[in-house]
Chain A
Amino acid sequence: MSALLEIRDARRTFVTPEGGRLAALDGVSLDVSANEFVTLLGPSGCGKTTLLRAISGFETLDSGTMRLGGADLTGLPPFRRPVNTVFQSYALFGHMTVARNVGYALEVAGVAKAAREAEVAEALEKVGLAGLGARKPGQLSGGQRQRVALARAIIAKPQLLLLDEPLSALDRNLRQQMQLELKTLQHSLGIAFIFVTHDQEEALTMSDRIVVMRAGQIEQIGTPRDIYRHPKNRFVAEFIGETNLMPVTIDRVDGSEALARTAEGVELRLPASGRKPGEQVTAVLRPADFTLGASGIPATVSRAVYLGSDLYVFVQPKAGGPELRVIARDTAGVEAGATVHLSHDPARVHVLEAA
Chain B
Amino acid sequence: MAVKRQSVVLGVLLAPVTLFLGVFFLLPLCIIALFSLLTPGLYGGVEWSFYHWNYGRIFGWADGINEIFEPIYLQILWRSLSFAALTVVLTLILCYPVAFWVSRLNDRWRLVFLFLITLPFFCSLIVRLYAWLLILKPTGLLNTILLWTGLISEPLEILYTPAAVVLGMVYVMIPFMFLPLYAAVDNLDRAQVEASMDLGANRIQTFLKVILPQTLPGILGGAVIVFIPSVGNFVVPDVLGGAKGLMIGNLVEQQFLSSRNWPFGSALSMIIMGVVLTVLMVSVTRARKVSGHA
Contact = CB atoms under 8 A, between A and B. Distances in A.
A58 B198 CA distance: 9
Contacts of B202: 77, 79, 108
Nearest to B198: A85
A182 to B, nearest CB: 18
B285 interface: no
A153 B195 CA distance: 9
A104 interface: yes
Given A79-B201, A79-B202, A95 B195 contact: no
A346 interface: no
A84 B291 CA distance: 25
A26 B195 CA distance: 26
A91 to B, nearest CB: 4
B292 A87 contact: no
A108 B209 CA distance: 9
B184 to A, nearest CB: 13
A104 B292 contact: no
Given A78-B194, A85-B195, A95 B200 contact: no
Interface residues on A, range: 20 to 34
Given A87-B191, A89-B191, A95 B197 contact: no
B192 interface: yes
A79 B209 CA distance: 14
Contacts of A87: 191, 194-195
A30 interface: no
Contacts, number: 69
A91 B291 CA distance: 18
A91 B189 contact: yes
B214 interface: yes
Interface in A45-95: 56-58, 77-79, 83-85, 87, 89, 91-95
B213 interface: yes
Contacts of A153: 198-199
Given A108-B199, A108-B201, A95 B194 contact: no
A19 to B, nearest CB: 13
Interface in B192-217: 192, 194-202, 205-206, 209-210, 213-214
Interface residues on B, range: 20 to 34
Contacts of A57: 197
A98 interface: no
A95 B292 contact: yes
Nearest to B202: A79
Nearest to A162: B198
A79 B200 contact: yes
A95 B195 CA distance: 14
Contacts of A89: 191
A95 B289 CA distance: 11
Contacts of B191: 87, 89, 91
Contacts of A108: 196, 199-202, 205, 209
B244 interface: no
B286 interface: no
A91 B205 CA distance: 17
A79 B205 CA distance: 11
Given A77-B197, A95-B214, 20 more contacts: A77-B202, A78-B194, A79-B200, A79-B202, A84-B199, A92-B195, A93-B209, A93-B210, A94-B189, A95-B291, A96-B292, A100-B292, A104-B201, A105-B200, A108-B201, A108-B202, A108-B205, A109-B200, A152-B195, A153-B198
Nearest 8 A-B pairs (CB), nearest first?
Answer: A91-B191, A91-B195, A108-B201, A105-B199, A78-B197, A95-B213, A79-B197, A85-B198
5 contacts: A79-B201, A92-B192, A94-B214, A95-B291, A156-B200
